[in-house]
Structure 1
Amino acid sequence: MLQGGYQSVLEARSRDEFRSEVIRFAQSLEFQTVSAITVVDHTLAQSEFITIDNCPVGYSDVMHAPEFGRRDPVMQHCKRNSMPIVWDRQTYAQHGASDIWESQAQFGYSTGICLALHLPEGRHFVLGVDRDRPLPSDKVELTRMVADLQLFAVHAVDTALRVLLPEQKSADSPRLTPRELECLNWTMEGKTAWEVGAILSITERTAVLHINNAMHKLGCTNKHQAVLKALRLGLIR
């Protein structure tokens, strides 16, 4: 189910399809609600927020107030970090924000996991899942849950930018060199930079340079995102 969710979100072609895939994946992890927020920073204006969610009626009116956003420890964590945060009532109590937790708990937001991907050109992608019961007490199970959410976010971010910000998509695909494409192809096969270098008869450092160049041209922050975007654009197969 999870593997199918990764591929399905990549193939979403509209806002509604993307929303359905995000909700389906969250529910497969046994979370009732989910929010996927695409943020675009503008130099001379306020940041733009595009949100996909399945929040209950009334929740947005209560929880999207500016005074809550500035104090919410989960959102403040995601503004500054790429590491996921696993939160519960204690998280809010430790930051003097128990009133925020009380307000959201009445809508079923008692525990959850949230993470942010910070991209080039002032773009960000925040993904959070929530539920009304405790998270798994088994550390292995919880770690797997967090890892699944992280992997899904890496797949979902490119689709979010594509279907939610179509005006920002370039009409032309990035121009990657043959060597950069070769390195991405072997990275897709699971090869390390050292292995790619050995296969192509180049140094590990040169392989890393080609991969980093490809990441930069594709506007990605890691090699996994670069491979996924290159696949979607038809640059590699």
Structure 2
Amino acid sequence: MASCHAAADRRDIRECAGRCIKTLHFYGCDTAASDYTCFLHGDQLVNSRTCATCNRHALCCFNPKRRTSGHRAAHQCAKFLRGPPVDRVCQRGAGDTPTVPQPLTSSLAGRWAPLATAFLNTVDLSSLLKLFGDVSASLGFPRFAISRVSRRHTGNGRAMAVETLCARYPDHWVAHYAQRDYGPVDPVHRMAFARATPYRWADIRGLNRIEQRVLGEARDAGLTSGVSIPLRETNGDILLVNLASPSPEIKTEVHMRLASSIGALFHQELHRLMKPHRPEPALELSPRQQECLAWVARGKSSWAIASIVGISPHTVDYHIAEAMKILGINSRTAAAVHAVTTGLIHV
């Protein structure tokens, strides 16, 4: 195992890495000496300091809802954490070398790269849909539907238009849904214009009586819970990917993030397969653009990337925006997906 310093120099999150779903920030205690040890936690480089009082490598935990003072050993400090459990932490005592326990769950990054390769290798729409269905089922979503949702101006104002591209829902529900013309009044479709990120059906608020009936009848048909992934098209329409589960709850944030990733992968490969093949000019990203996009692919925010790379969040946003212009993509997630699948960056 490489030292924490070596891992930090390479910006390599795979070595000496602590994983958790939620980004956590750690600070040394007030009496700490000035020597720093690079520490990776939650996929983010932070600093640990050697406490001059107890001569132990110690960490203090800062939680947005609760600030703790004094120093704690890494494994003790973890007890103060609220929110999702830590998969593994890099623990270090006096004179010890860093050790990394085995993760309790598989990481998002470890599953994402093989998925990107699999989607890139699809050869037609049929194989793309089959792969998407298989991956969705492995995440606990055996049913899915893909629709194009748009808003059009009419004599009475703006009306919603829904075009179902593919539905892997129970046949009786598909027939009932079409017969009742539920598309324009489905709250899942309405919410797509209000959200830019995936959302759970259970989180939709302000339902009127018709919308409550649509979701209630969907539950009766076996679509007990679901998550929707809105993917914006260049013409303003939304390609909406709906994943449904017979389970009453969607609890795992990792699955939500993976669902978002496979939605973006599907979106990109759908466009690749539907447009005629023609040679494309070689695209080049600057080293900084590649670095920022690689961290986006790992799920990092601009603030987190700035902390890791050592530049301001504004500069991070600038490099990501420039990369999006070069790639001709108006979503940072989609740009990261494209860069990975085409080999412009590696994660």
User: Which TM-score applies when normalising by structure 1?
Assistant: 0.72
* Cα RMSD for the two superposed structures: 3.7
* Native 8 Å contact 1:34 1:127 kept in 2: yes
- What residue identity is the alignment partner of 1:135? E
The structure-2 alpha-carbon separation of the partners of 1:53 and 1:70, relative to structure 1 and needing over 3 Å to count, comes to: closer
* Match 2:187 to one of 73, 95, 118: 73
> For 1:1-237, what aligned pairs fall within 5 Å after superposition?
2-3=111-112, 4-38=114-148, 49=163, 51-64=165-178, 67-88=181-202, 94-97=207-210, 98-136=212-250, 141-163=251-273, 165-167=274-276, 171-173=279-281, 176=284, 180-190=285-295, 192=305, 208-233=317-342, 235=344
Task: Measure the CA separation in 2 of the matches of 1:235 and 1:19.
Answer: 25
User: Residue by residue, what CA displacement relative to the aligned partner does 1:19-52 show, whole Å, maximum 9, x if unpaired?
Assistant: 1111111111112201233568899xx9784623
What code does the residue aligned with 2:322 have? N
| 8 A Cα contact 2:141 2:244, kept in partner | yes
> Which structure: greater strand fraction?
2
Shift in CA distance, 189/148, structure 1 to aligned 2, threshold 3 Å: closer
CA distance in 2 between counterparts of 1:235 and 1:134 reads 40
Unpaired segments of 5 or more residues in structure 2? 1-105, 154-159, 297-304
Post-superposition offset of 1:145: 2.5
Contact 1:87 1:113 in 2 (8 A): yes
- Aligned counterparts of 2:141 and 2:195: Cα–Cα separation in 1: 23
In 2, Cα distance between equivalents of 1:219 and 1:108: 40
Greater relative CO, 1 or 2 (CA 8 Å, sep 6+): 1
Amino acid at match of 2:275: P
Q: CA shift at 1:79, angstroms? A: 2.7
Aligned residue for 1:31, secondary structure, equals coil
Moved more, 17-26 or 66-75: 66-75
The structure that has the greater radius of gyration is: 2
Which stretch shows the higher mean deviation, 24-33 or 92-101? Answer: 92-101
The sequence identity of aligned pairs, in percent, is 15
Worse overlay, 74-83 or 33-42: 33-42
For 1:172, the aligned partner's letter is E
Q: TM-score scaled to structure 2, two decimals?
A: 0.52
**Partner Cα distance (1:155, 1:146) in 2:** 14
1:227–1:30 distance in 2 versus 1, CA, 3 Å: closer
Per residue, is there more helix in 1 or in 2?
1
> Kindly tell me: are residues 172 and 42 of structure 1, through their superposed partners in 2, closer, same or farther at Cα, counting changes over 3 Å?
farther
